[in-house]
Structure 1
Amino acid sequence: MKLLIDFFPIILFFAAFKLWGIYAATGVAIAATVVQIAYLRLRHGKVEPMQWMSLGIIVLFGGATLLAQSETFIKWKPTVLYWLMGGTLLAGQLLFRRNFIKSLMGAQIELPDAVWSQLNWAWAGFFTAMGVLNLWVAYQFDTDTWVNFKLFGGIGLMLAFVIAQALFLGRYIKDEPGQPRPEDVQP
């Protein structure tokens, strides 16, 4: 359910674009993000800082798209969001000596500090590369291709990256004490 809530604005943006074009889709994305934040606030009592930032960016860049009647602004929105996320991870590591990936996931996974550092750098690099890739697609292809990339390419690359991270982390995950490993269980 959380995944659906997270991708709700993107999916509605895609559907609205296919039906009515970029400007209607931009308005739908703004409204869907406002609804998403309201739902999260009512349902969970709080909204993550990244989600507030995403709301601010869609309102700013989407609003500029609608006011200027220029799709350039909405095409920059994913890049700005990716670069802010990557920049936040880098700033945490370099300026504040805090690993924000560890802060987010440390309660679920126990890893050596060096692996947390590698994970943080990998995510910062991924977000930076995704921002560059978004701009390349936005400026080298038509808007229809960019919208398809935004939904399928962006989500597909994120999924591939998460799977690669899971495979990388698999060798560092320890079995729970007292829990049998799958290969130790007799049928």
Structure 2
Amino acid sequence: MKMLLDFLPIVIFFVVYKTTGDMIMATAVLIPATLAQVLYIYWRHKRVEKMQLVTLALVVVLGGATVLFGNSSFIQWKPTVVNWLFAVAFLLSPLFGGKPLVERMMEKAIQLPRAIWHRLNLAWVVFFLAMGGLNIYVFSHYSEDVWVDFKLFGMLGLTLLFVLIQGVYLSRHMVQAPQDDTSSSNSPRQKDDS
């Protein structure tokens, strides 16, 4: 549900652009859609993550400039700026609180050695930098239509692929929780012996 909510403004932007062929109109719809998303998150959870506020601010500023000046390049820079801000946040996170940001986000779900957390955090930094650079390449070398497709499907697909690769990497390094005595007394081998 959270992932759907995160992508809802992008999907709305995509649908409006594909039905009208007008980047300015799609951007004009994206701004209130993103604002509504953040307001809903605040209403539902009584808090909003900092990066959601940063994203909203960038949509309002760069989207507003796109609508005001009739120039789509402003909104095309937004994914790059967001990805590079994420890269900086992940890169600097160990300096504030001692833990990489990825560890803070995932430590309740899995346990990893400290070195693996740092490698994983660095992988996210590289990924975000690459995504920002790839966005610039796509909007600089291809049509608006191709860029809109890339923004929804390309970026989402590459993110899912990266998360899948991360999952494979994590499975090799996860620290196993010690088994308690009750689980060993119910092992299949002991049942066969009785």
TM over 0.5: yes
Ranges of 4+ aligned residues in structure 1 off by more than 3 Å? 95-98, 174-180
The alpha-carbon deviation at position 173 of structure 1 amounts to 2.1
Match of 2:8 in 1: 8
The alpha-carbon deviation at position 174 of structure 1 amounts to 3.6
CA RMSD of aligned residues (A): 1.8
Q: Deviations over 1:87-107 (max 9, x none)?
A: 1111223x4454111111111
Larger radius of gyration: 2
The alpha-carbon deviation at position 133 of structure 1 amounts to 0.2
| TM-score (normalizing by structure 2) | 0.89
Q: Deviations over 1:65-92 (max 9, x none)?
A: 0111100101100000000000111122
Instruction: Give the count of matched residue pairs.
Output: 183
Within 5 Å, give how 1:14-163 maps onto structure 2.
14-20=14-20, 21-93=22-94, 95-96=95-96, 97-163=98-164
- The one-letter code matched in structure 2 to 1:133 is L
SS class of match (1:178): coil
| TM-score (normalizing by structure 1) | 0.92
Structure 2: how far apart are the matches of 1:29 and 1:112?
A: 41
Structure 2: how far apart are the matches of 1:176 and 1:104?
A: 19
The alpha-carbon deviation at position 185 of structure 1 amounts to 6.4
Provide the identity percentage.
43
The alpha-carbon deviation at position 157 of structure 1 amounts to 0.2
SS class of match (2:7): helix
Asked if the contact 2:87–2:128 (Cα under 8 Å) also holds between the matched residues in 1, the reply is yes
* Structure 1 spans left out of the alignment, 5+ residues: none
- The one-letter code matched in structure 2 to 1:4 is L
